[in-house]
Structure 1
Amino acid sequence: MEPEINMAELGEKIVEILKTIYDPEIPVDIYELGLIYDVFINEDREVKILMTLTSPNCPVAESLPLEVEDKVKSFSMIKDAEVEITFDPPWTQELMSDVAKLELGML
Structure 2
Amino acid sequence: MRSPELIRDDIIKQLATVIDPELGIDIVNLGLVYSIDLDQEGICLVKMTLTTMGCPLTDVLATAVTKAAKRVPEVKNVDVQFVWEPVWTPAKMSRAARLALGIHS
Give the structure-1-normalised TM-score.
Answer: 0.88
Matched, 1:55 2:52: yes
Identity %: 31
| CA-CA distance at 1:76 after TM superposition | 2.4
Residue of structure 1 in register with 2:86 after alignment: 89
Per mean C-alpha deviation after superposition, the further-off stretch among 87-96 and 16-25 is 87-96
Task: State the one-letter code of the partner of 1:41.
Answer: L
Task: State the one-letter code of the partner of 2:24.
Answer: P
* Structure 2: distance between partners of 1:99 and 1:25: 17
- Equivalences, count: 104
Within a 5 Å distance, the mapping from 1:1-107 to structure 2 comes to 4-107=1-104
Task: State the one-letter code of the partner of 1:85.
Answer: F
Per mean C-alpha deviation after superposition, the further-off stretch among 49-58 and 38-47 is 38-47
Give the structure-2-normalised TM-score.
Answer: 0.90
| CA-CA distance at 1:63 after TM superposition | 1.5
**Cα RMSD (Å) of the superposition?**
1.3
Q: Which runs of 5+ in 1 are unaligned?
A: none
Task: State the one-letter code of the partner of 1:62.
Answer: D
Q: Which runs of 5+ in 2 are unaligned?
A: none
| CA-CA distance at 1:25 after TM superposition | 0.7
SS in 1 for 2:68: helix
* Structure 2: distance between partners of 1:27 and 1:82: 24
